[in-house]
Structure 1
Amino acid sequence: MSSSDIFAGETIGTAVLILLGGGVCAAVTLKRSKALDAGWLAITFGWGFAVLTGAYIAHPSGAHLNPAVTIGLAMDGVTKWSDVPLYIGSQMLGAVIGATLVWVAYYGQFRAHLTDPEIVAETTGHEGIVDKSASPQAGPVLGVFSTGPEVRNVVQNLATEIIATAVLVLAILTQGLTKGLAVSGTGVLMTAFVVVGIGLSLGGPTGYAINPARDLGPRIVHALLPLPNKGGSDWGYAWIPVVGPLVGAALAAGIHKLAF
């Protein structure tokens, strides 16, 4: 596998992953969207189909689309450690591109949502002056871009991300035990369903980042985009959806080596 295959596959595939995954979050969250309030089922299946689409597009690179998956595969001996920086760098670039495209696709809805008097009242003081002391840690559209906890407890939030990512990476690693599964393309479909299952079962506490690039890249975009009344990017929480998935991936690789 060439460096150009890795760069193109991971950048484009991750961009599509975030475009479709962030897109379903925008569709469910933003005012003037036809899918407003469609609910958690729409989000979980939307992310599952996002993984499916991005992974098929990124087939030439191995379709990691996730630094945690890359680390897990490297620890298992499937991916060369020398290729890991290129994989992760490409995934981060793709995540930034994908999140920016969500903003472009939903530009009118972002403006309608963030200029709504009810939203403005949450993020500004009287007379439209920003009141930083009243601003929430997470702004009113941060959930379109990245994850956040329902109950802010560092130990629980970190544990949730570790457990959920360990399930994902272990499911990917054990596909190699079934001859021809990855080659047939069925493995990609199975991984997409695993992501849906994780979202339905373990997504409630933190929003199931299970992918450092999926969370960090779009959070950076949220911080940089000229969105009115967007509120905070919750940088105090941002390390959890990065560290948790990486630890979970290492845990999954260890379990795979010991058990199989």
Structure 2
Amino acid sequence: MSSSDIFLGETIGTAVLILLGGGVCAAVTLKRSKAVGAGWVAIAFGWGFAVLTAAYIALGPSGAHLNPAVTVGVAVQSGEWNRVPVYFAGQMLGAMLGAVLVWVCYYGQFTAHLTDREITGGPGAQATAAADRQRSDEPGPVLGIFSTAPEIRSPAQNLATETIATTVLVLAILTQGLTEGLALSGTGVLITALVVVGIGLSLGGPTGYAINPARDLGPRIVHALLPLPNKGGSDWGYAWVPVVGPLLGGAVAGGIYRLAFA
């Protein structure tokens, strides 16, 4: 496959991944959404179906990495790094495009949610406190639609959780033959999607399971740039964890594959 095919495949596939994955987060979070309050199980399965759809779309042109951690895992195992920047570029662009499309699809719901006094705070002291929070870097009321945040803010634990969860994901992908120069089969795409659901249900509780640096960083940038009223901060103090952790997990998975499966 050519570099242009890889770039386009990863851009389109990752855009669809974030559109559907971020879309289920918006559906569950935002007021005036028919799915509001549907809960964590809906989010876990929504992200699994997002992976399933996006991977089928990108399978032919790029091999459907859709995740810098997968790209790193393949490179560590194979020793081939020359196309890694092309994969990374497509994944980041696609993730940002997907986040913008979520905003477009839920524009009215974002507006209703972020102008609701129950969300932004009532008059007087509450409104002042809400405004102070919105000027800070603390996570805003819709940041979870775009990116992840921990339930307990402990950098060591959060990093370990993201690393371990991503190792499971990437190792599951590598053992399907991706490092032998083979694209995932249709069955492999389905297996990967189910692994993502399983990770979400089992290991997603502490951090929201980014397990994909582009999935977290690209939409976080979009959150920072979009003209959303009362959106609050983008939590840049935490942003390194869902980037570094998954990249470490991808590298660990590639190393495990070389030791145990090659």
Which residue number in structure 1 is paired with residue 51 of structure 2? 51
Which residue number in structure 1 is paired with residue 165 of structure 2? 164
Which whole-Å deviations, capped at 9, do the CAs of 1:37-80 have from their partners, x for residues lacking one?
000110000000000111111012010000000000111117x3
Which residue number in structure 2 is paired with residue 42 of structure 1? 42
SS of the equivalent of 1:216 reads: helix
Does residue 102 in structure 1 map to residue 70 in structure 2? Answer: no
The answer on whether the counterparts of 1:123 and 1:231 sit within 8 Å (CA) in structure 2 is no
The answer on whether the counterparts of 1:115 and 1:228 sit within 8 Å (CA) in structure 2 is yes
Which residue number in structure 2 is paired with residue 91 of structure 1? 91
Which residue number in structure 2 is paired with residue 16 of structure 1? 16
Q: CA deviation at 1:100?
A: 0.2
Q: CA deviation at 1:4?
A: 1.4
Q: CA deviation at 1:136?
A: 6.7
State the TM-score, normalizing by the size of structure 2: 0.93
The answer on whether the counterparts of 2:217 and 2:239 sit within 8 Å (CA) in structure 1 is yes
Which residue number in structure 1 is paired with residue 151 of structure 2? 150
Cα 1:115–1:170 change in 2 (3 A) is same
C-alpha separation between the residues in 1 aligned to 2:208 and 2:123?
Answer: 23
The answer on whether the counterparts of 2:134 and 2:233 sit within 8 Å (CA) in structure 1 is no
Which whole-Å deviations, capped at 9, do the CAs of 1:192-239 have from their partners, x for residues lacking one?
000000000000000000000000000000000000000010000000
Which residue number in structure 2 is paired with residue 243 of structure 1? 244
Q: CA deviation at 1:17?
A: 0.2
C-alpha separation between the residues in 2 aligned to 1:157 and 1:118?
Answer: 30
The answer on whether the counterparts of 1:52 and 1:189 sit within 8 Å (CA) in structure 2 is yes
C-alpha separation between the residues in 2 aligned to 1:31 and 1:236?
Answer: 28
Q: Count how many residue pairs are aligned between Structure 1 and Structure 2.
A: 258
C-alpha RMSD of matched pairs (Å): 2.2
Q: CA deviation at 1:131?
A: 2.1
The answer on whether the counterparts of 2:159 and 2:245 sit within 8 Å (CA) in structure 1 is yes
The answer on whether the counterparts of 2:12 and 2:94 sit within 8 Å (CA) in structure 1 is yes
Which residue number in structure 2 is paired with residue 118 of structure 1? 118
Which residue number in structure 1 is paired with residue 71 of structure 2? 70
- Residue type of the partner of 1:210? I
Q: CA deviation at 1:118?
A: 1.1
Q: CA deviation at 1:120?
A: 1.4
Which residue number in structure 1 is paired with residue 131 of structure 2? 130
C-alpha separation between the residues in 2 aligned to 1:9 and 1:139?
Answer: 32
- Residue type of the partner of 1:63? A
Unaligned runs of 5+ in 1: none
C-alpha separation between the residues in 2 aligned to 1:194 and 1:122?
Answer: 43
- Residue type of the partner of 1:41? V
Which residue number in structure 2 is paired with residue 141 of structure 1? 142
C-alpha separation between the residues in 1 aligned to 2:54 and 2:190?
Answer: 11
SS of the equivalent of 1:131 reads: helix
SS of the equivalent of 2:27 reads: helix
Cα 1:125–1:95 change in 2 (3 A) is farther
Does residue 223 in structure 1 map to residue 224 in structure 2? Answer: yes
C-alpha separation between the residues in 2 aligned to 1:110 and 1:154?
Answer: 30
The answer on whether the counterparts of 1:5 and 1:61 sit within 8 Å (CA) in structure 2 is yes
Unaligned runs of 5+ in 2: none
Q: CA deviation at 1:132?
A: 4.5
Which whole-Å deviations, capped at 9, do the CAs of 1:74-107 have from their partners, x for residues lacking one?
11117x3110001001100000000000000000
C-alpha separation between the residues in 2 aligned to 1:133 and 1:20?
Answer: 27
C-alpha separation between the residues in 1 aligned to 2:14 and 2:84?
Answer: 15
Which whole-Å deviations, capped at 9, do the CAs of 1:92-132 have from their partners, x for residues lacking one?
00000000000000000000000001111189966678324
- Residues 143-152 or 181-190, more deviating: 181-190
SS of the equivalent of 2:54 reads: helix
